[in-house]
Amino acid sequence: MLLAGLGAAAVLPVAAACSKNDSEGTEFRSPHVTDQPAARNVKDFGAVGDGKADDTEAFARAAAVTDKPLVLYIPAGQYTLTRFPALADYATVLGDGADVTTINYDGDDTFITLQRKQRVRFSRLGFYFSGAKATAVRLSECFRCTFDSVVLRGNHLSDNAPRFQEQRGLVLDRNTGGTTVINSDINNFGFGIVTSCIQNYVTSSKLTNNRIGVLGTGGDHNAGLALANVEFVSDNDPRTTDKHVLVDGPANDWWLTNVWFEGADTALAIGGPAGGPAQFGLVNCKVAARKVCLDLIHCRQPYLANVQFDPDLDAPPIEVRVDPKGVAEGTAINLISGSFDDVDPKSFPDGWHVIGRGAIHGARFAGTTVAQAYTPGADIFQVQDRDGSVLSAVLNSGAYLSDRSEGGIVLKDSAGVYWRMSVGTDGAVKTTSLGKQRPHS
Report the alpha-carbon distance of residue 218 to residue 437 in Å, rounded: 50
Q: What is the pLDDT of residues 156-215, one digit of tens each?
A: 999 999 999 999 999 999 999 999 999 999 999 999 999 999 889 999 999 999 999 999
Buried b (16+ CB within 10 A) or exposed e, 329-344: bbbbebbbbeeeeebe
Helix (H, G, I), strand (E, B) or coil at 346: helix
Contact call for residues 197 and 177 (beta carbons, < 8 A): yes
Write down all domains in the chain, each with its CATH number in brackets: 1-70 (no CATH), 71-361 (2.160.20), 383-435 (no CATH)
Q: What percent of the chain has pLDDT over 70?
A: 91
Q: What is the pLDDT of residue 37?
A: 54
97 vs 33 pLDDT, higher one: 97
| pTM score of the predicted model | 0.83
pLDDT exceeds 50 at position 8: no
